[in-house]
Amino acid sequence: MIGILKTGFTVIFAGLFMVGCATTDPCVNILQEKPMAPGIKMNSVNIIDTSLYYEMVGGTYCNGVRVAPTTEEVNSGVVTRYKISVQQTQSDRTNTGTMQVWTILRNHTNFPLQIEGRTQFFDQLKTPIEEMTAWKRIQLPPKSIGTYKVQSTRKDEGMQFYIEIREGR
């Protein structure tokens, strides 16, 4: 009876071991990019270039050892890595009645970044009322902040805005 149990245990253990070795890649990457929320959030900034900002769920393992991200990041459920972040976004009326919007961006890297921004202006019903502005460049020195600023051409009341940020091309 004991011999049968030992043999059965050995077969089960060997089967589990073989299932664990089914992959040919010794370093399995289980990071997944988190999908972005649909729709446009008015009066906000969206970093559209995933090389500047992305969220991942999970962790990277190699031969059963966690190599990235840290335990704290994995325990939080979402890993956020970024080169830049939005520090503040504001809008105001100019003396001529047009809308001026600006956002302050922080460079978290140890090297200079070239960032580009563009803006779409909307009316109270969230209908675009101007063409999207041209891409405007912002130079961000290492570990610093910079400001993206743009004005509307119209004087409509109740205007809203949406800013897109990407890495310079």
- Domains located in the chain, CATH noted: 25-167 (2.60.40.3230)
Residue 88 β-bridge partners: 104
In Å, how far from its chain's centre is CA 11? 47
Contacting residues for 25 by C-beta, under 8 A, at least 6 apart: none
Predicted pLDDT of residue 25: 46
| Beta-strand pair 53-57/79-82 | antiparallel
pLDDT tens sequence across 118-156 = 999 999 999 999 999 999 999 999 999 999 999 999 999
Predicted pLDDT of residue 51: 84
Predicted pLDDT of residue 30: 41
pLDDT tens sequence across 63-121 = 555 455 555 655 665 566 688 999 999 999 999 999 999 999 999 889 999 999 999 99
Give the closest residue to 91 by CA, choosing from 115, 63, 122, 67.
122
Predicted pLDDT of residue 167: 95
Q: Where are the beta strands (DSSP E) in 48-159?
A: 53-57, 60-62, 65-68, 79-82, 84-93, 99-107, 113-122, 136-140, 145-151
Give the closest residue to 117 by CA, choosing from 47, 54, 164.
164
